[in-house]
Amino acid sequence: MNNFSSSGRIQPDLSQLQEALAHLLGKLPAIVIGLIFLSGIFSSWYTVPAESEAVVTRFGRFSHTVQPGLRFKIPWGIDEVEKIPVKRQLKLEFGFATQGANNPFQGTDSREQDEEKRMVTGDLNVALVEWVVQYRINDPRAFLFNVRDPEQTLRDVSESIMRQVVGDRTVDEVITFGRQDIEFESLKELQELVNQFQMGLSIDQVQLKDVNPPAAVQASFNEVNQAQQERERSINVAKGQFNKAIPEARGGADQKQREAEGYATKRINEAEGDAARFKSVLAEYVKAPEITRRRIYNETMQEVLPRLGRRVILDESLKSLSILPLGDATLPILNRPTGPNPNNSRSPQP
């Protein structure tokens, strides 16, 4: 029941306040239990993305890993979930940084970038080296529990290996023709060290980006580089001409050699044929010398006389006989000798 003061205000009844407070305190455990129950319901499920796997820890100790999809866990902080992007290729950038990167370990600030890319080569020159390491997480449990701060550890290891590899080469190798060897050796040594630490990582690629000398000597280096490129171009042109001229010369030499071999074979065959023919004639001559000699004489005359054209042969005793060259004004007249025929012992007939 309300009490009125002398000023007309209503004074609260202490007994009613005590009753209300007692009633509220009586329901407080149920309210707390209800809130705890609701929080447990809302914190007992989670979703693993398609490109990730989740590592579940129970009271801070590894429990199991789960695949993508809708999953459930023990609420109230008993189970903790760490989602690891095992199907996505990650990268670390050294000496530069891409704006808007999702991975906080992908790049560093500008001051650390300048320190990362400044390296000393094997011939005690300075080179500014920028590179990228691309990797994947293939063992989420090893990635989380075997090494403390695995991303930072990978950055430190990558920088150490790159400095070692660059320090074993001259500045010309680092900036020009030795880039592929540096990438290959860095990848090999980095993967071996990652496996040794059991970090649960697979190194896909180590790629050099911009590799330049310091700005103070950039112009001089560009001139030297241009001269080397011109030298290489001249060498390539000379090699091209060499590769064109040598096969042509060898082809011509082979052709001449084959022609000479063919001519030699022809002459040998002709000589062998002449020798065989001479042997056959000799065999016949041995059998009948007189007949063979006359046959050879007749065959020779058959070959020679057609070349002489028309001829008239007269004995010397017929001096008074005249022949009119009616058909041919240039017809020669030959006097037939009266001596004996060298091929016949008989006297010639008049």
Judged against a pLDDT cut of 90, whether residue 205 lies above it is answered with yes
Q: Please enumerate in sequence order all residues whose Cβ is within 8 A of that of 293, keeping only pairs 6 or more positions apart, or say none.
A: 285, 343
Q: What CATH number has the domain bearing residue 168? A: 3.30.479.30
38 and 135 in a single domain? The answer is no
Residue 137 dihedral angles phi and psi, to the nearest 5°: -95, 110
Beta bridge partners of 69: 48
Model confidence pLDDT, tens digit, residues 213-224: 888 888 887 888
Contact at 8 Å (CB) between 88 and 106? Answer: no
C-alpha to C-alpha distance for 349 and 52, rounded to whole angstroms: 131
Residue-number span of the structural domain to which 132 is assigned:
90-213
Residue 110 sits in the same domain as residue 204: yes
Does 100 share its domain with 196?
yes
Question: Are residue 108 and residue 205 in the same domain, yes or no?
Answer: yes
Reported as a pLDDT band with limits 50, 70 and 90, residue 345 is very low
Statement to judge: residues 111 and 191 lie in one domain:
yes
Token pair, residue 245, equals: 């001229």
CA distance 213 to 217: 7
Length of the chain: 350
What's the pLDDT score for residue 133? 96
| Same-domain status, 135 and 183 | yes
Residue 209 phi/psi, 5° resolution? -100, -115
Count of helix runs (H) and strand runs (E) in the chain: 8, 13
Partnered with residue 62 across adjacent β-strands are 57
pLDDT at res. 313: 67
Name the domain boundary from 84, 105, 120: 84
> Higher pLDDT residue, 282 or 273?
273
Predicted local confidence at residue 226, as pLDDT: 85
Both 75 and 100 in one domain: the answer is no
In a domain, 140, yes or no: yes
DSSP string, 223-280: HHHHHHHHHHHHHHHHHHHHHHHHHHHHHHHHHHHHHHHHHHHHHHHHHHHHHHHHHH
Task: Compare 100 and 244 and report the one with higher pLDDT.
Answer: 244
* Of 40 and 12, the one with more pLDDT: 40
If asked whether residues 105 and 168 sit together in one domain, one would say: yes
Q: How confident is the model at residue 57 (pLDDT cuts 50, 70, 90)?
A: very high
Average pLDDT, the chain: 82
- CB-CB neighbours of 233 under 10 Å: 10
Which of 196, 203, 188 is CA-nearest to residue 155? 203
d(CA 199, CA 226): 44
- Cβ neighbourhood burial of 176 (10 Å; 0-12, 13-18, 19+): middle
User: Span 137-151, mean pLDDT?
Assistant: 93
Confidence of residue 15 (pLDDT cuts 50, 70, 90): confident
**Which residues sit opposite 207 in a β-bridge?**
132
Whole-number pLDDT of residue 1: 47
Q: Classify residue 194 as exposed, middle or buried by CB count within 10 Å of its CB (0-12, 13-18, 19+).
A: buried
Question: What one-character-per-residue DSSP string does 78-96 give?
Answer: TEEEEEE-TTS-EEEEES-
Same-domain status, 196 and 131: yes
Which amino acid appears at position 339 of this protein? G
- 171 and 96 in a common domain: yes
Residues 14-28, mean pLDDT to the nearest whole number: 69
Whether residue 45 is found in the same domain as residue 116: no
Q: Tokens for 175?
A: 């900036």
Distance of CA 5 to the CA centre of its chain: 102
Q: Count of domains in the chain?
A: 2
Let me know whether 58 and 100 are in one domain: no
Rounded percentage of the chain residues whose pLDDT exceeds 90: 43
Q: Which amino acid is at 128?
A: L
Residue with the two structure tokens 């084959």: 258
Pairing of strands 69-72, 118-120: unpaired
